[in-house]
Amino acid sequence: LHIVIPASILSLIIYWLIRDRHKVRNLSGKYVFITGCDTRLGNALAKWLDKRGFCVIAACVTEQEGQELRSCSSLSLKTVNLDLADSSSISKAVVFATEETAGKGLFGLVNTAEGTTHTAAPTDWLTIDDFHSALSVNLLGLIEITLKLLPLLKKAEGRVVNLINAKGFMTFVDGGYNLSKWGMESFSDTLRRDIQHFGVKVSIVEHSFFNAKVNWGIMERDLLRLWNRLPNEIRDSYGEKYFSE
């Protein structure tokens, strides 16, 4: 054991060093589909991969955002409109990706998209629709686009990379937002085991906070809206002092 254990540890370290030095070669012709390219993170990633020679398919919510991205990228970067809350929009984006890759498949799918609805309020102030609005994009939309792109990923023995904001694991009063982040973790872990048989890899990147401006005025207005729609018995049980504080 005194020999086996150190030898095993040394072998593992050597394996890690060799693995981490391995770089992907011949980037030209490798297609990467990125969701959420209308956000700062997805937009920056699309530009970064484009400069390194990947064929990027950047999914944006609106055509205007797609045009702005194309204007500062190479001709190999393509954009497609994608609303992850709309199944028909997802299907159209998948058809676009299938035609663009022309039988080569997808080298990568990177999910960076996030919904804009982060309702911050006590749980019993919320309705099931408030949870649906967060889960429809952050979790269910992500699952749907991933499942529909799996045939292309299998064809190229590609990889799925899900970017998950670490703040989703600190459960504050955010309705379905935190649920979606835990769900993304679980879905990614299950998917990783299920499709490794096809040579497809699944990774999770838990990124930290960004220096984003918080519009407190919008948050206060949303909180007031929720407060005003509460049934009297719930509002009375909290009281005006609770709401003000």
Per-residue pLDDT tens for 127-157?
898 888 888 888 999 999 999 999 999 999 9
Sheet holding 201-207, edge to edge: 78-81, 55-60, 31-35, 108-111, 159-165, 201-207
Radius of gyration of the chain (CA): 22
Which residues touch 242 (CB under 8 Å, ≥6 apart)? none
Cα separation, 157 vs 226, in Å, equals: 47
- pTM metric for this prediction: 0.84
Determine which one of 15, 31, 177, 242 is catalytic.
177
Tokens 């694991």, residue?
Answer: 169
Give the model confidence (pLDDT) of 42-61 as tens digits.
999 999 999 999 999 999 99
Least confident segment among 26-40, 93-107, 110-124, 151-165: 110-124
H-helix or E-strand containing 205? Answer: strand 201-207
The CA distance from 228 to 45, in Å, is 41
The stretch 234-244 carries a mean pLDDT of: 92
Domains present along the chain, CATH in parentheses: 28-212 (3.40.50.720)
Q: Could you give the 3-state DSSP secondary structure of residue 56?
A: strand
d(CA 184, CA 189): 9
Is 177 an annotated catalytic residue? yes
